[in-house]
Amino acid sequence: MSDATPSVARMRAILRQISAGGQPASVSLPSTPSPPLALSPATRWNGWGFHDTKLFVNSNKVIEISGARYAEVFANAPDRTLPSLLPWAEKRLGLDADRRSAPSITCAEELRLRNQLDEGGETYRALMQFLHLASEELGINTSMTVEERVRHGHGQTCEDVFRLRHVRDVERVPDAVVWPTSHEQVEILVNEVTQKYADKEEPTSPTR
């Protein structure tokens, strides 16, 4: 079986769109930044992609993609199935579609974040001042929720996702997350940190 089957080609097109932030791969991104996907509850905190979109093996033993996203990928297809993808994955990747791995951890609040700042410490107070500057003076979205901090404290490998789903202790996450929307805002934030807080001795995780 050739790797260039229509099913595999469609899956690669979907992956290109996901890696481009959900935009069609063939469309130029606008010069004005769009709101980050992490601000949307539509994306998964412990996996890849959107909550309303998943690959599943249907009753005909064919992989199908749920939801209505990536419609242009299936514009010339009779349905949203990928008939050749499962045989290809079984042969090339050794996939066993009957083997399931339900997550041991179902929400981010079940995680135990290690190496956290002391809320009575100087570095924590400095962080609060920094976030006030970002949100109140610059109008930048900020977050200190466990879910957003965990989102921004790991990579996208299979090992990373497995740990999020099964390992309760998280050793490294940022103390907060900020979403600047321009180069100028980034410069202001970096200058604020380096000028006022660079000499703090209390160890801390980086803010993203």
Q: Specify the pLDDT at position 134.
A: 95
CATH dotted code for 108-195: 3.30.43.10
84: Cβ contacts below 8 Å, ≥ 6 apart: 1, 5, 6, 7, 8
Alpha carbons 166 and 104: distance in angstroms, whole number: 5
Mean pLDDT, rounded, of the chain: 81
| Per-residue pLDDT tens digits for 50-88 | 888 998 999 999 999 998 888 888 888 888 988 888 998
pTM of model > 0.85: no
Report residue 28's pLDDT band, with 50, 70 and 90 as the boundaries: very low
CATH assignment of 38-100, given 3.40.50.300, 3.40.718.10, 3.50.50.60, 3.30.160.650? 3.30.160.650
CA 46 to the chain's CA centroid: 8
Neighbours of 48 (CB within 10 A): 13
